[in-house]
């Protein structure tokens, strides 16, 4: 089984390169600390191509830290130190020769609180590709990105209006479109619906099912039902450690660890 | 005897004291308004009679009726333009470095300390510096260039401090969003941080320049002439400036020249009023757009 | 798979052109920031160089404690105390005006005034702060001095009192603004606690809030006085050019700053001892304001640490 292979890779890292089904994105024994505090310790998870991997756990367990490690957004945190490896297509993205800017073009991110630029809707989506040297038809790219984010119909007549005039749910879909415009392989989502109302949340979840067909998604969520509904694989973190990782179905209905069972049945967290 | 509740008389006395205190604080505060009003009224009353088109068009003269501030106006214009050209790019650049790039290090701490001290150095010391380095050492003489460079050093800390505050006010979420899209640090700053901070930077710059317009001591040190009957034609020419001309007239014993000085003051205050109004308008409009 | 890894690896590598571009921009910005250190060093170097030359001809003791200042006239004497006393007179007078009014305004604004009143008074204070010093000098000479002479006819046309009054007006916005910030930073819970035990508004303000904000308030005083020391044009215009060791405010005096202006307006050639006095006095001025500013900022920082 693919997942068993993935877990075995932790023991035989060299095998990752020769296996024909190497995961797209992988964390191997990753430990991150800020200013002496250990945020996550010895975490190993994988993200298989074109699947949704959810990271769940109680507040403060290190979910966001782990997520941000995948596209080197932790670089911006002062004193953040990472040991272990984050492999993207077999390449350690923290290698000194690797450009974090290039990493972020291929691994996009959507944040918890929608953060569109204070510019027009069009400029929000177009800016990323343009500064990265996109030479094709920008208008077409903007349209297809907005369509993929299920926002095109709502904004097609007002592309030049300020993005800040949109509602919260629309802004978040705009941020998704903005990330999609770069045509990444992986999209990281940090609790994308937690700041939104239930209707918008449902729309974002529907969107995830559509996006899964083309993109690999890693989503952090504190909403267990959301994780159970939407994801293929689930990683459960607690106090910075990976307690369990496996297919969502198995983690929620037949968890291997007692702590997992306690968490998914709502006994704590 | 009831020791818990104080006597009514005592309470009444405390209340009276409190009322008097309130009134005194209020009176002293409004005294500031009174002082400002007296100052403005006095200057306007003395100066307005002398203020006509001829005043703006004539050069200074030994005869008060024929004296004007043309050379001073042109000199100030030259001075401010050059000062802006030097101080704004350098000041904003330094602010960008300190807010967006600088990490904690020995050199960066020293920069911060220097900046804090420079803001409090008396303007005449900047004049001494300008005299020694720009006028003598670099051989620029008593030119507009030397004056502008000296002024730039003087207002540089103000521009840096104001720009830093404007940059700091840009929410971090914008920077994170841009970085997550694969932008380099400079791309993020250039396309998102600076445009967002621009109103604050502009406001700070205008206020710094309005401070520069009123400064006299450094210009005296570098040799801005106090009697100039010509208009500077280039940056290396000698010059005078509004505050210098005012100082010159005020220093003469005759009453007419004091009134001329008042006229010059009215012009100077009008210019300052315009600049500050512009800064306030910019600040208002940008705040409206943010909502 | 290995090939794919290699392609990906090379795609993700740093582009050298972009790296140099980013480094170049950062370097340029850094140089601009470095200028502040350069200017500080330059000020110190410029003042020190000529001051040292000066002190080879004049003993430091004679300079600092001599009571006669006639550097440009024979018989020459280089005792700076008259200039120091002139500056001192101005600073004391300014403090007597600026500190009480500034503090009272701050107390009124933060403890009593409505938002509407604040909206009127704060801009007025900002305007007072923004008026150029020549204008204040003019006001001192043409309005305050005649007024003083009306009340006290022995007042000289150039006198320390007029100048110190306007310098007081000049620094009071700074005192008011800094004290206002300091008072507003005091948490409301302290006020509420005092009211709850039956204190009057005045008692709360003077016995609870101001003491709680004391280091911020004191810092504002120190910084304002430093500003008064460095003030030039108002004293040059209104206080006179007669260095005199006196505490009499209705006499004509000369401050350190006014002396420097006087020499610059004259014809003293470079290299002469008269020229060097600019730097000696300038160095003394710089040191005094530097010490005052550092002290003021240190006190202010201690205040901020407690409340922010």
Domain map (residue ranges) of chain A? 2-264
Model confidence at B224, in pLDDT bands (50, 70, 90)? confident
Residue A86: helix, strand or coil by DSSP? strand
- CA pseudo-torsion sign C274, C275, C276, C279: positive
Q: What's the rounded mean pLDDT across residues C262-289?
A: 90
Q: Is the minimum CB–CB distance between B43 and chain C shorter than 8 Å?
A: yes
B230, two tokens: 């010509």
Domain map (residue ranges) of chain C? 69-307
**Percent of chain C's residues with pLDDT above 90:** 58
Model confidence at B61, in pLDDT bands (50, 70, 90)? confident
Closest Cβ opposite residue C8 in set A18, A19, A89: A89
Q: Residue A175: its chain B contacts at CB < 8 A? A: 177
Residue A53 pLDDT exceeds 90: yes
Model confidence at A14, in pLDDT bands (50, 70, 90)? very low
Q: Residue C9: its chain A contacts at CB < 8 A? A: 90-91, 98
Cβ–Cβ below 8 Å for B128 and C278? yes
Task: Give the C-alpha separation, C214 to C299, whole Å.
Answer: 10
Model confidence at B4, in pLDDT bands (50, 70, 90)? low
Q: Residue A131: its chain B contacts at CB < 8 A? A: 181, 183, 187, 191
Give the pLDDT of residue B285. 85
Residue A194: helix, strand or coil by DSSP? coil
Q: Residue C300: its chain B contacts at CB < 8 A? A: none
Cβ–Cβ below 8 Å for B179 and A178? no
Task: Give the C-alpha separation, B204 to B210, whole Å.
Answer: 10
Residue A44: helix, strand or coil by DSSP? strand
Nearest-neighbour CA in chain B from A4: distance (Å): 32
| Residue C280 near residue C53, CB atoms below 8 Å | no
Q: What's the rounded mean pLDDT across residues B174-188?
A: 94
Closest Cβ opposite residue A131 in set B175, B176, B187: B187
B33 burial (CB, 10 Å; 0-12 / 13-18 / 19+) is middle
Bigger pLDDT: C58 or C10?
Answer: C58
* Nearest to A23, CA basis, from A245, A192, A225, A237: A245
Nearest-neighbour CA in chain B from A202: distance (Å): 23
Q: Residue B136: its chain C contacts at CB < 8 A? A: 270
Kindly identify which residue of chain B lies nearest to residue A162, measuring between CA atoms. B289
B251 burial (CB, 10 Å; 0-12 / 13-18 / 19+) is middle
B165, two tokens: 């505050």
B24, two tokens: 């005194």
Kindly identify which residue of chain B lies nearest to residue A119, measuring between CA atoms. B192
Cβ–Cβ below 8 Å for B182 and A179? no
Give the pLDDT of residue A19. 40
pLDDT in tens, B21-42: 999 999 999 999 999 999 999 9
Kindly identify which residue of chain B lies nearest to residue A118, measuring between CA atoms. B196
Q: Is the minimum CB–CB distance between C8 and chain A shorter than 8 Å?
A: yes
Model confidence at C5, in pLDDT bands (50, 70, 90)? low
**Percent of chain B's residues with pLDDT above 90:** 62
Cβ–Cβ below 8 Å for B133 and C42? yes
Residue C217 pLDDT exceeds 50: yes
Q: Residue B156: its chain C contacts at CB < 8 A? A: 35-36, 39
Cβ–Cβ below 8 Å for C46 and B93? no
Q: Regarding the domain with residue range A2-264, which homologous superfamily does it belong to in the CATH classification?
A: P-loop containing nucleotide triphosphate hydrolases (3.40.50.300)
| Residue A262 near residue A84, CB atoms below 8 Å | no
Cβ–Cβ below 8 Å for B181 and A175? no
Q: Residue B153: its chain C contacts at CB < 8 A? A: 39
Task: Give the C-alpha separation, C123 to A209, whole Å.
Answer: 57
Alpha carbon separation from A21 to A17, A25, A214, B200 (Å, rounded): 9, 12, 18, 54
Closest Cβ opposite residue C5 in set A20, A89, A106: A89
Residue B116 pLDDT exceeds 50: yes
Chain A interface with C: residues with Cβ < 8 Å: 17-20, 22, 88-91, 93, 97-99, 101-103, 106
Alpha carbon separation from C13 to A85, A100, C10, C19 (Å, rounded): 17, 9, 5, 11
Q: Is the minimum CB–CB distance between B227 and chain C shorter than 8 Å?
A: no
Interface test with B, best of C20, C132, C201, C293 (most B CBs within 10 A): C132
Model confidence at A10, in pLDDT bands (50, 70, 90)? very low
* Nearest to B83, CA basis, from B268, B215, B200: B215
Closest Cβ opposite residue C5 in set A17, A98, A102: A17
Give the pLDDT of residue C6. 63
Residue B217, φ and ψ in degrees, nearest 5: -55, -45
Give the pLDDT of residue C272. 86
| Residue B14 near residue C203, CB atoms below 8 Å | yes
* DSSP symbol at B236: T
Nearest-neighbour CA in chain C from B174: distance (Å): 20
Q: Residue A101: its chain C contacts at CB < 8 A? A: 18
Residue C99: helix, strand or coil by DSSP? helix
Angle, in degrees to the nearest 10, between helices C214-230 and C160-185:
150
Beta strands, E only, chain B: none
Task: Give the C-alpha separation, A253 to C236, whole Å.
Answer: 87
Task: Give the C-alpha separation, C148 to C251, whole Å.
Answer: 12
Task: Give the C-alpha separation, A79 to A76, whole Å.
Answer: 9
Q: Residue B114: its chain C contacts at CB < 8 A? A: 36-37, 39-40
Give the pLDDT of residue B6. 67
Q: Which of A188-192, A194-198, B244-248 has the lowest mean pLDDT?
A: A194-198
Residues forming beta bridges with residue A190, ordered by sequence position: A220
Cβ–Cβ below 8 Å for B177 and A76? no
**Percent of chain A's residues with pLDDT above 70:** 91
Q: Regarding the domain with residue range C69-307, which homologous superfamily does it belong to in the CATH classification?
A: MetI-like (1.10.3720.10)
* Neighbors of chain A with 3 or more C-beta pairs under 8 Å: B, C
Residue B272 pLDDT exceeds 60: yes
Give the pLDDT of residue A223. 86
Q: Residue C11: its chain A contacts at CB < 8 A? A: 102
Task: Give the C-alpha separation, A119 to A99, whole Å.
Answer: 28
Q: Mean of the per-residue pLDDT values for chain B?
A: 89
Q: What's the rounded mean pLDDT across residues B92-104?
A: 93
The b/e string for A159-186 (b: 16+ C-beta within 10 A; e otherwise) is: beebbbebeebbbbbbbbbbbbbbbbbb
Residue A84: helix, strand or coil by DSSP? strand
In the block, tokens 């024979």 appear at: C74
Q: Is the minimum CB–CB distance between C10 and chain A shorter than 8 Å?
A: no
Residue B156 pLDDT exceeds 90: yes
Where in the sequence is the domain holding B255, given as residue range(s)? 54-290
Q: Would you give the distance in Å from CA B261 to the centre of its chain?
A: 21
Cβ–Cβ below 8 Å for B217 and C33? no
Look at phi and psi of residue A247 and say left if phi exceeds 0, alpha if psi is from -120 to 50, else beta. Answer: beta
In chain A, the N- to C-terminal Cα span, in Å, equals: 31
Model confidence at B270, in pLDDT bands (50, 70, 90)? very high
Give the pLDDT of residue A226. 87
Chain A interface with B: residues with Cβ < 8 Å: 71, 73, 76, 78, 101-102, 104-105, 108-109, 111, 113, 115-118, 127-128, 131-132, 175, 178-179, 182
pLDDT in tens, A83-106: 999 999 888 999 888 889 999 999
Q: Mean of the per-residue pLDDT values for chain C?
A: 90
Cβ–Cβ below 8 Å for B268 and C132? yes
* Neighbors of chain B with 3 or more C-beta pairs under 8 Å: A, C
Q: Residue C10: its chain A contacts at CB < 8 A? A: none
Q: Which of B250-254, C122-126, C152-156, C302-306 has the lowest mean pLDDT?
A: C302-306
Residue A13 pLDDT exceeds 90: no
Residue A83: helix, strand or coil by DSSP? strand
Q: Give me the CATH number covering residue B151.
A: 1.10.3720.10
């Amino acid at each position: 089984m693919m997942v068993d292979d993935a877990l075995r890779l932790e023991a035989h890292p060299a095998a990752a390169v020769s296996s024909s089904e190497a995961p797209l994105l992988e964390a191997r024994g990753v430990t991150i600390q800020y200013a002496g505090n250990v945020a996550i310790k010895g975490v190993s998870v994988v993200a298989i191509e074109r699947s949704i991997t959810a990271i769940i756990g109680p507040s403060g367990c290190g979910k966001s830290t782990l997520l941000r490690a995948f596209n080197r957004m932790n670089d911006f945190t002062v004193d953040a130190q990472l040991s272990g490896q984050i492999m993207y297509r077999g390449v350690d993205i923290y290698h000194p020769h690797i450009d974090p800017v290039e990493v972020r073009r291929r691994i996009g991110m959507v944040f918890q609180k929608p953060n569109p630029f204070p510019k027009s809707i069009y400029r929000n989506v177009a800016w990323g590709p343009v500064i990265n040297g996109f030479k094709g038809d920008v208008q077409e790219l903007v349209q297809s990105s907005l369509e993929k984010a299920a926002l095109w119909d709502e904004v097609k007549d007002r592309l030049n209006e300020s993005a800040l005039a949109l509602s919260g749910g629309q802004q978040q879909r705009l941020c998704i479109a903005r990330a999609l415009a770069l045509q990444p392989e992986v999209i990281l989502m940090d609790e994308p619906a937690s700041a939104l109302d239930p209707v918008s949340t449902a729309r974002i979840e529907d969107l995830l099912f559509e996006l899964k067909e083309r993109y690999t998604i890693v989503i952090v969520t504190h909403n267990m039902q959301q994780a159970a509904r939407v994801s293929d694989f689930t990683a459960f973190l607690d106090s910075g450690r990976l307690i369990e990782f496996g297919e969502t179905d198995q983690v929620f209905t037949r968890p291997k660890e007692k702590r997992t069972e306690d968490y998914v049945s709502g006994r704590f967290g | 005897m009831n020791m818990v509740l104080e006597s009514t008389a005592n309470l009444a006395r405390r209340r009276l004291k409190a009322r008097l205190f309130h009134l005194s604080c209020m009176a002293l505060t409004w005294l500031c308004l009174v002082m400002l009003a007296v100052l403005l009224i006095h200057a306007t009353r003395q100066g307005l009679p002398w203020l006509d088109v001829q005043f703006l068009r004539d050069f200074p003269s030994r005869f008060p009726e024929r004296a004007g501030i043309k050379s001073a106006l042109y000199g100030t214009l030259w001075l401010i333009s050059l000062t802006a050209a030097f101080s704004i790019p350098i000041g904003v650049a330094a602010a960008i470095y300190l807010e967006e790039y600088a990490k904690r290090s020995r050199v960066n701490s020293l920069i911060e300390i220097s900046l804090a001290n420079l803001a409090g150095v008396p303007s005449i010391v900047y004049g001494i510096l300008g005299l020694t380095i720009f006028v003598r050492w670099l051989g620029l003489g008593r030119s507009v260039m030397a004056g502008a460079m000296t002024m730039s050093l003087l207002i540089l800390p103000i521009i840096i401090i104001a720009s830093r505050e404007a940059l700091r006010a840009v929410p971090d979420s914008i920077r994170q969003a841009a970085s997550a899209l694969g932008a380099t640090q400079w791309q993020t700053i250039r396309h998102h941080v600076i445009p967002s901070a621009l109103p604050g930077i502009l406001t700070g710059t205008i206020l710094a320049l309005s401070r520069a317009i009123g400064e006299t001591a450094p210009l005296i040190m570098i040799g801005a002439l106090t009697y100039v009957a010509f208009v500077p034609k280039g940056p290396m020419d000698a010059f005078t400036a509004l505050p210098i001309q005012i100082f010159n007239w005020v220093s003469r014993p005759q009453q007419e020249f004091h009134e001329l000085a008042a006229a010059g003051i009215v012009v100077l205050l009008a210019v300052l009023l315009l600049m500050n109004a512009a800064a306030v308008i910019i600040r208002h409009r940008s705040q409206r757009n943010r909502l | 798979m290995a090939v794919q890894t290699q392609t990906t690896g090379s795609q993700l590598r740093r582009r050298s052109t972009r790296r140099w571009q980013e480094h170049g921009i950062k370097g340029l910005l850094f140089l601009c920031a470095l200028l502040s250190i350069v200017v500080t060093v330059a000020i110190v170097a410029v003042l020190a160089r000529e001051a040292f030359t000066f002190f080879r001809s004049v003993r430091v003791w004679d300079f600092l404690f001599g009571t006669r200042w006639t550097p440009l006239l024979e018989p020459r004497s280089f005792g700076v105390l008259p200039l120091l006393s002139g500056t001192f007179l101005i600073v004391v007078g300014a403090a007597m005006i600026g500190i009480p009014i500034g503090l009272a305004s701050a107390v009124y604004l933060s403890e009593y005034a409505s938002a509407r009143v604040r909206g009127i008074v704060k801009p007025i204070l900002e305007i007072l702060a923004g008026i150029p010093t020549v204008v204040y000098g003019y006001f001192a000479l043409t309005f305050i001095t005649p007024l003083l002479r009306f009340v006290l006819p022995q007042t000289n046309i150039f006198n320390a009192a007029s100048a110190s009054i306007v310098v007081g007006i000049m620094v009071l916005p700074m005192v008011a603004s800094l004290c206002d910030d300091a008072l507003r930073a005091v948490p409301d819970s302290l006020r509420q606690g005092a009211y709850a035990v039956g204190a009057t508004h005045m008692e709360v303000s003077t016995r609870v809030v101001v003491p709680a904000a004391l280091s911020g308030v004191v810092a504002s005083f120190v910084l304002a006085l430093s500003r008064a020391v460095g003030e030039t044009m108002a004293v040059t215009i209104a206080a006179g050019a007669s260095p005199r060791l006196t505490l009499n405010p209705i006499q004509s005096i000369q401050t350190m700053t006014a002396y420097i202006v006087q020499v610059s307006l004259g014809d003293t050639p470079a290299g002469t001892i008269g020229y060097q006095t600019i730097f000696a006095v300038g160095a003394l001025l710089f040191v005094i304001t530097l010490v005052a500013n550092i002290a003021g900022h240190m006190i202010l920082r201690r205040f901020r640490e407690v409340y922010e």
